[in-house]
Amino acid sequence: MGITLYDQNGTEKKHVTAEGQETSKNFAEQVNGMMFEYGDVVKVYHAESDRLSWYKNSEFVGKGDKKTFKEISFKVTPNGLEQV
């Protein structure tokens, strides 16, 4: 699993990864406190994306599909994350 944060110009600000054998605690410690600005893009990668659940406005909208995609990107907006 990985998260990459880009600024609005596409410059990488932070890249965090966790392999399957690593604990989620280590991953969370790297992600906690990340600073986001409007216009930033967050790219999420998971090798087994069918294990992820997607929500919109706190409502479940579906599961990931490992056959279709392994990553998804969101833009940080004043109203929350917007898929790009």
Lowest mean pLDDT among 12-16, 40-44, 63-67, 73-77: 63-67
Which of 10 and 49 is assigned the larger pLDDT?
A: 10
- Closest by alpha carbon to 13, among 44, 45, 35? 35
Domain spans, the chain: 2-83
What's the rounded Cα separation, in Å, for the pair 36 and 7? 9
Give the integer Cα–Cα distance in Å for 54 and 83. Answer: 11
**Residue 64 pLDDT exceeds 70:** no
